[in-house]
Amino acid sequence: SISTTKFGGKWHRLYAGADGWTFQKLEHAIMGYDGPTLLVIKASSKQHDTVTLGAYTAAKWERNKRDFFGVPDCFLFQLVPTLRVLKSLPKMGTRGGHYMYFHSNTNTQNLNPSKKDELVEGLGFGGTVRTPRLFVDCNLEECRASSKDTSFEEGHLGVTPSDDPFSSAFSPSGGASTTSSLHIESLEVFAVGDSETIMKGFQAQNHYRDIADSTLRNARTVDKAAFLGDMRNGVIETKAFAHRGQVDGRAHGCLKVDGKANGI
Q: pLDDT in tens for each of the 264 residues of the chain? A: 565 567 767 899 999 998 999 999 999 999 999 999 999 999 999 888 999 999 999 999 998 878 999 999 999 999 999 999 999 999 988 889 999 999 987 654 444 544 556 789 999 999 999 999 999 999 999 999 999 999 999 999 988 765 444 444 444 445 678 999 999 999 999 999 999 999 999 999 999 999 988 888 887 776 655 665 666 666 555 555 555 555 555 555 454 455 555 554
Q: Is residue 248 within 8 Å of residue 259, measured between CB atoms?
A: no
As to burial, measured by CB atoms within 10 angstroms (0-12 exposed, 13-18 middle, 19+ buried), residue 65 is middle
Burial code (b: 16+ CB inside 10 Å, e: under 16) for 210-231 equals eeeeeeeeeeeeeeeeeeeeee
pLDDT for position 10: 82
pLDDT for position 221: 72
3-class DSSP string for the chain:
CCCHHHHCCCCEEEEEHHHCCCHHHHHHHHCCCCCCEEEEEEEECCCCCEEEEEEEECCCCCCCCCCCECCCCEEEEEEECCCEEEEECCCECCECCCCEEEECHHHHHHHCCCCCCCCCCEEEECCCCCCCCEEEECCCCEEEEECCCCCECCCCCCCCCECCCCCCCECCCCCCCCEEEEEEEEEEEEECCCHHHHHHHHHHHHHHHHHHHHHHHHHHHHHHHHHHHHHHCCCCCCCCCHHHHHHHHHHCCEEEECCEEEEC
pLDDT for position 161: 67
Q: How distant, in Å, are the alpha carbons of 49, 114, 115, 186, 217 from that of 212?
A: 42, 24, 22, 29, 9
